[in-house]
Amino acid sequence: MKETFFEGIGRRKTSTCRVRIYEGKKANTVNGKALVEYFNGVEKVSREAVKPLQVTELENKYYFTAVVSGGGITGQVDAISLGLARALYKMDETLKPVLRTAGLVTRDARAVERKKYNLRKARKKKQFSKR
């Protein structure tokens, strides 16, 4: 039997995530591991990733699988959250205003600024000496 799913892509900093939503009650997985296990048992991080399901009150009706790559914990969690939100409103367009008021639809474009030549970091310069 082929399961039907809705897919959403999420990106944040250098992380990219593909999220698929399925109907039913199973464990949420990230890269083949349980959600809490993937993020080393940090409950706060896991709650942040599942926020779109909580806001729309669909946490007990749907589960998701995510494949995430690149970046660190913060970028990956935000990428999962955005991908989940996009998959939800692809599934049901009426959920988009609810997700937007919670601030889960907008992609956060902030990323690390690149280092420039002759500087120590992106903007930090060598100390100026007058004498």
pLDDT tens-digit map of 71-122? 999 999 999 999 999 999 999 999 999 999 999 999 999 999 999 999 999 9
Q: Which CATH class is domain 6-101?
A: alpha beta
pTM across the whole model: 0.90
CA–CA distances in Å: residue 48 to residues 65, 79, 98, 118: 15, 11, 16, 39
* In the predicted structure, residue 1 carries a pLDDT above the cut 70: no
HSE, CB side, 13 Å, CA atoms: give it for residue 2: 1
Is it the case that residue 2 has pLDDT exceeding 80? no
Q: Tokens for 105?
A: 């639809």
Give the distance between the most distant pair of CA atoms in the chain.
78
CB 6 within 8 A of CB 21: yes
The domains of the chain are located at 6-101
